[in-house]
Amino acid sequence: MRRETLRGLTVLGVMAGCGAAGANAQQTATGQQAAPAGTELQEMRAELKLMEAKIDALEAAEAATAKGQGTVPLGTPTIAPGQTVAGTQADAEQKPDQKAEEAPAPTGPEAVKRAADKGMDTMDAGMGGETIELPYIPQMKFRGFGDVRAFVANQNLAVIGNNPGSPTVATQGGNSTFALGVMDLFVTSQISEHFSYLSEIGFEADPGSNNIGVDLERAQLSYTPNDKFSLSMGRTHAMLGYYNTAFHHGTWFQTTIDRPRIFEFEDSGGPLPIHNVGMAAMGKVPSGKLGLHWLAEVGNGKQTYALAAGPAPANVLADHTGKSTNIGLLARPEKLDGLQAGFDWYQASVVPVVSLLPGFGSPNFAFPNAAGNYRQNIYVAHAIYITPKMELMVEDAEIRDRPRSPALALLAPGGSPRPLYTSGGYAEASHVFGVVRPYVRFQWLNPNFNDPNNAWVGRWVGPTGGVRWDINAFIALKFEASRYAWKNFSADPSGNQILPLLTKTIDQLGTQITYTF
């Protein structure tokens, strides 16, 4: 760029000189004395060649300096005798105190110490501030989600919403309430071409205490070298079916107010291992227009030693030796854009400590035949078809818990431990008309009430109908009505679930304003 600029200026000078020569020729024609035009042009051409030589020498000197050579390469045009150019070999030689001979920029503990010595926050030591030099600083992006909702029902909301992870006594609830949803902070960073990071931090209120807490919902580092393989490490959403991979903690994306009961989060009474702490991989399978993809996960599994501690994944220490695994296959046919169908199989060890289960020791303890170790297999199938105007989704999950110890377990006729089944799923449809999207969902959740791992989620079967109004690109308002056939345990004065079982019909109206910012 410098060379072209200098040449351009030189050409402009020659053109100006030509104009002067022409003026001199005109003055001669009018009888005024002037130097011959041809002589001036020859001098200008010689000066142009000399300046080009100077430019070439300057560039060669700079190139040699950049390479640390300190000499002009062979073949570089020389400078005419008696001429000097700034930046030649003598000027290009670096002095000992110049940057090229300084020690490399510190990294690691040395960089942290230097940052502390300068009074800087040591977190800056890793981001290319005054301490470490990086080729670039990864850009972090923040996005937020939140919602406020209200419900009114024909039953006590504390009773029908109770779960062992957050026991709520009936006197704390009524038939109507306003409620804060999750304030969800979503953070992403493209670290490099193949590495990226995301986290999801939720600020939410506990129904039992009404206190607001902070949950790190997701925190994962991902490596994606190509579309045939990607790997994520950390706390992720388990790749169970479609809903759990498509819709996360921000409610702005989902059509309805709530998630389907089968995909409810663990701390809200859901039976599935929604979160996973471990590793997850997926990618394309060479399959032409069929569009096959594979997936695989390994993790700590549920923290199941005590439901009162919350059936979430173990973030630091797994409470049993075995690891959970999940494998699956899905198809996205090229000819049917918007269609996806798949199946996956999850397995883990579930180890409840019977003495820590809610209501243990009371005459009405719900699980007198509970075992201390179960082999859990979960099978999830889904088929969805989504276009800009239409949404059709169907999913079903089957949970099979087989006791490993027959000592307390219910036995099948042959004398072996009897497997306990919980099933759940939903079918949902919606269509857009301008900024309004009417929707309908039918869902089912049927636990085995002898299973200490899943019985407490209760039976929920019934339809939901509603409408979503997108006020603008960032705010949506939802109205819906639901009716459920409900069945679950009673509750003692502390909110612990005990026998006998209760059966109710629940009619509920709900509204929600959800937003992203």
So what's the pLDDT on residue 372?
80
Q: Which amino acid is at 26?
A: Q
Please tell me the predicted confidence (pLDDT) of residue 264. Answer: 93
| Mean pLDDT taken over the chain | 79
**Of 99, 125, 160, which residue is a domain's last?**
99
CA separation (Å) from 123 to 104, 112, 150, 262?
20, 8, 42, 41
Residue 24: its pLDDT value, please?
Answer: 47
> pLDDT at position 103, please?
56
Distance separating alpha carbons of residues 370 and 407, to the nearest angstrom: 9
Segment among 219-228, 291-300, 453-462 with least mean pLDDT: 453-462
Residues 234, 126 share a domain? no
pLDDT bin (cut points 50, 70, 90) of residue 165 is low
Confidence of residue 309 (pLDDT cuts 50, 70, 90): very low
User: Lowest mean pLDDT: which of 91-100, 126-135, 273-282?
Assistant: 91-100
Q: Report whether 246 contacts 282 (CB < 8 A).
A: no
Task: Give the total number of structural domains in the chain.
Answer: 3
Domain at 154, CATH number: 2.40.160.10
Point out the least confidently predicted range of 32-36, 115-119, 374-378, 477-481. Answer: 32-36
Kindly state the tokens that stand for 190.
């493209």
Q: Based on the fold, state whether residues 481 and 411 are members of the same structural domain.
A: yes
Please tell me whether residues 45 and 167 are part of one structural domain. no
The pLDDT value given to residue 385: 96
Residue 11 in 3-state DSSP?
A: helix
C-alpha dihedral sign at 300, 304, 307, 308: negative
CB 218 within 8 A of CB 203: no
Give the per-residue pLDDT at 159.
76
pLDDT value at position 268?
82
What is the model's pLDDT at position 4?
A: 52
- pLDDT interval class at 166 (50, 70, 90): low
Q: Which SS3 state, helix, strand or coil, does residue 494 take?
A: coil
> Do both 324 and 368 map to the same domain?
yes
One domain, residues 159 and 231 = yes
Q: How do residues 380-439 score in pLDDT, each as one tens digit? A: 999 999 999 999 999 999 999 998 876 556 666 656 678 999 999 999 999 999 999 999
Q: Cα–Cα distance between 20 and 84 in angstroms, integer?
A: 28
> Which domain covers residue 133, as residue numbers?
103-137
Tens-digit pLDDT profile for residues 473-500:
999 999 999 999 999 988 777 767 788 8
Instruction: Choose the most confident range, by mean pLDDT, from 349-353, 440-444, 457-461.
Output: 440-444
* Domain boundary, last residue among 137, 161, 186: 137
Q: Is the pLDDT of residue 134 over 70?
A: no
66 with 155, same domain: the answer is no
**Which comes out higher in pLDDT, residue 143 or 123?**
143
Given this model, what pLDDT does residue 81 score?
A: 41
Same domain membership, residue 223 and residue 147: yes
pLDDT in tens, 83-117: 444 343 444 344 444 444 455 656 566 666 666 66
Q: Could you tell me what percent of the chain has a pLDDT over 70?
A: 66
Distance CA 486, CA 463 (A): 12
285 and 380 part of one domain = yes
Considering Cα of 483, then 489, then 495, then 496, what sign does the dihedral take? Answer: negative
pLDDT digits (tens, 9 = 90+) for 242-270: 999 999 999 999 999 999 999 999 888 88
Q: 55-93 as b/e, with b when 16 or more CB fall inside 10 Å?
A: bbbbbbbeebbeeeeeebeeebeebeeeeeeebbeeebe
Please state the pTM of the whole predicted model. 0.74
User: For residues 220 and 89, what is the distance between their CA atoms, to the nearest angstrom?
Assistant: 53
DSSP secondary-structure letter at 317? S
In the structure, what pLDDT confidence band is assigned to residue 358 with cuts at 50, 70 and 90?
confident
- pLDDT above 50 for 35: no
Q: Which of 46, 52, 58, 49 is nearest to 85 (CA)?
A: 58
Taking the C-alpha atoms of residue 60 and residue 76, their distance in angstroms, rounded to an integer, is 7
8 Å CB contact between 148 and 512: yes
Whether the pLDDT of residue 449 is over 60: the answer is yes
Residues 148, 15 share a domain? no
Section 297-306 average pLDDT: 78
E-assigned strand segments in 85-210: 140-153, 176-180, 183-190, 195-205
In one-letter notation, the amino acid at residue 9 is L
Whether residue 309 sits in one domain with residue 192 = yes
309 compared with 284, residue with greater pLDDT: 284
Q: How confident is the model at residue 143 (pLDDT cuts 50, 70, 90)?
A: very high
Burial 250-287 (b: 16+ CB within 10 A, else e): bbbebbbbbbbbbbbbbbbbbbbbbbbbbebbbbeeee
Domain limit, last residue, from 40, 69, 99: 99
The conformational region for residue 155 under phi > 0 = left, psi -120 to 50 = alpha, else beta, is beta
Q: Tens digit of pLDDT for each residue in 182-196?
A: 999 999 999 999 999
468/256 Cα distance (integer angstroms): 8
207 or 246, higher pLDDT: 246
CA dist., res. 268 & res. 246, Å (int): 19
- Looking at the DSSP bridge assignments, the partners of residue 144 are 185
Q: Which residues pair with 479 in a beta bridge?
A: 467, 511
120 shares its domain with 10: no
If asked whether residues 191 and 340 sit together in one domain, one would say: yes
